[in-house]
Structure 1
């Protein structure tokens, strides 16, 4: 990975330390770094994975299921370098209070890391982890804190990379782009990133349509995203991209009802909104998503590079439902791959939150090899990208995909870098 100059990393703020008082006294006492159990010979390596389940908004149960499956797999073959891996999971519930509770539990359990997790509540969960010195490896990438905290080690470019890539992918086809996105703080950031991608080909800024994150009906948003008179005559004239997580299909269902099937409009999304599971569920080869553009972080779900993960799920899921095409599941697999490489690099040294973090900061020689589903990963100072407000970003690669005959397939082979787009984004330099 090529090194480059970047803005200085953000250090822990006063707010992080102030959060100490808010931690449950039954779980944590005192402020500052806390003593954590060391994983030496005979002691398991304890880690945590959290994700929301059973909520009215985005749900990611496959991430915690993948974490448990990974532990069953490595422990069945002797553990990681002879160490048992103990995975503790937590339901974050898409709720800031519950996210904080999950983080507090990670501290109480003596976790060496939080791995492959999803939460939109970075302000709530990151402070307890920082104070305890616990690294956050491979979060899903939906919060600012994942790309600013020196204790975070993201494996992808997060929503910023997806949106910038989506803008670049659509700019080649569309005269006008409408973005339908959540009416949340995370959603507010989406507009600047997709505009940065569109600007690479001189396209106009998106039409921004806000939607409640847990809406049951998207008729109003579908009407606001409607096709202007005459635009439907040329498929490439009007494009609508929706980034609503689990509710993306609900929006497009409303959109098709209002706009004569919506077949004359180029539709798009990012992985997590439209994926192979959605295509299968909506008709496969007859899916109304046929022809949709999709921007992802990783290779298409059917790529041979995912076979090691698929084999682990086949052999060790133990009845848990895991969709290996889910980008959350894929992110968790990658994050645990990083964890394994780091633990193996420690040799006979104790595995603690501090030793894991130091190994990540020092870097693995040649970078962490994830089997080609990402570039080799490294979080050394010289390997981080010069993306303003995202100083922890180490991977700005995306993939351009399309739904074709019922399958999510690549539009082009290999990764596309959006690093230059993000680094030059004027709206992110405030």
Structure 2
């Protein structure tokens, strides 16, 4: 190449680069991360296509979040790279996902779902990888020093649900999984019932992945009684199957309107047994899928972690989903898993921005969270912080920092607030055995 041609080429490259810098103001083209900062790699896992609870919306939300944040230049100049993994609702699957996160040098596991805490936390702890905003279904999420939960998990939901039911139910039947995790639910529910000097619930263990639940449904209805009785089911994805069996039971004179959607649309049953559950076992997608206002869940009480899906605090998430989910129907803004993943990635984003470093490590993230990084979630939760003095310290759940829940009910096919704002259930969780 001649000297004149080389000089012309260099001049063209220099001019083009300068032009791009002037257009963007920072030398980074729109929609790219650029710069010298290294990418941030994280993993999100959840079960999919299993016979028990599936949460495909969580990895899908993670990918949607990455498309959005990378279109804005990344997180503080870092491209966000997402690894996803199907943990299959098995201990081997959860452990395999955790080992892959270690192998591919993820700096955090964010917004994930797994009941197999022991299987995944050990590999993460050995590698020093923080677990941010898990769904809250496993006990290890609330005991591991490297776990940073964004909600109060099943403990807060179930204890709060007891408080919600105590005001309206004379007797309560609890149908729950016949598993180690399920064994903890009766005492948590009873701690909430006792808060209002209510009698304990009748405990009805059931197979977690049954195809039908006629036998436990009959028992639950009989034990609750027709006079202001309540049947609550906490079976994850199989909750819908349970209430389908429940509404198919032969009608009794004393319980007309028994879970069959025959309420008057006001959220109240005309008479008979009321039904109830918690977010994750029942949510707006399930209500929509089972008939909306004619759903068996019409009139049901539901305890949640976050504001109802129509609350204005979810507007930023809804906008991101609308613009970056590309019609992926797994990403439902009313799904509790999707909502939890959004909040978990909000935590990650704010922490990375506070670090202001060219390279982000797992150790830096955990250290910043331990030192008291404060996370504002825009009203979706209280301000989150994981310093020692912020931890609830409840037996079995010491890592809870957000012990507030919301009381909702299904009215005209929509989950709406039964009472405004959050309800603090910290003392109730502390009182559980």
Q: Deviations over 1:271-325 (max 9, x none)?
A: 1112111221222122221110000000001111101111101100133221111
Corresponding residue to 2:326 among 312, 318, 322: 318
Is 2:267 the counterpart of 1:272?
no
Specify the alignment match of 1:134 in structure 2: 129
Asked if the contact 2:393/2:399 (under 8 Å) is kept, the reply is no
Paired residues for 1:353-364 under 5 Å: 353-364=362-373
2:211 alignment partner, SS class: coil
Paired residues for 1:403-418 under 5 Å: 403-418=410-425
Point out the more displaced range, 250-259 or 391-400. Answer: 250-259
Is 2:390 the counterpart of 1:383?
yes
The structural deviation recorded for 1:223 is 1.5
Corresponding residue to 1:244 among 235, 247, 251: 235
Paired residues for 1:155-234 under 5 Å: 155-227=150-222, 231-232=225-226, 234=227
Paired residues for 1:66-81 under 5 Å: 66-81=61-76
**Cα distance in structure 1, aligned partners of 2:105 and 2:332:** 30
**Cα distance in structure 2, aligned partners of 1:389 and 1:184:** 17
Asked if the contact 2:109/2:131 (under 8 Å) is kept, the reply is yes
Asked if the contact 1:225/1:240 (under 8 Å) is kept, the reply is yes
Asked if the contact 2:278/2:302 (under 8 Å) is kept, the reply is yes
Specify the alignment match of 1:97 in structure 2: 92
Gap runs ≥5 in structure 1: 1-39
Q: Compare CA radii of gyration and give the structure with the larger one.
A: 2
- Structure 1's 228 and 393: CA in aligned 2 closer, same or farther, altered over 3 A? closer
Specify the alignment match of 1:333 in structure 2: 342
Higher relative contact order (CA 8 A, sep 6+): 1
**Cα distance in structure 1, aligned partners of 2:37 and 2:386:** 30
Is 2:351 the counterpart of 1:342?
yes
Asked if the contact 1:363/1:379 (under 8 Å) is kept, the reply is yes
TM-score (norm 2): 0.86
Q: Deviations over 1:354-387 (max 9, x none)?
A: 00000100112xx200111000000001111131
Gap runs ≥5 in structure 2: 1-34, 252-256, 260-271
The structural deviation recorded for 1:259 is 4.6
TM-score (norm 1): 0.87
Specify the alignment match of 2:141 in structure 1: 146
2:277 alignment partner, SS class: strand
Paired residues for 1:36-115 under 5 Å: 41-115=36-110
Asked if the contact 1:113/1:353 (under 8 Å) is kept, the reply is yes
Specify the alignment match of 2:120 in structure 1: 125
Asked if the contact 1:268/1:294 (under 8 Å) is kept, the reply is yes
- Structure 1's 210 and 218: CA in aligned 2 closer, same or farther, altered over 3 A? same
Asked if the contact 1:227/1:259 (under 8 Å) is kept, the reply is no
1:185 alignment partner, SS class: coil
1:107 alignment partner, SS class: helix
The alignment yields a C-alpha RMSD, in angstroms, of 1.4
Aligned length: 382
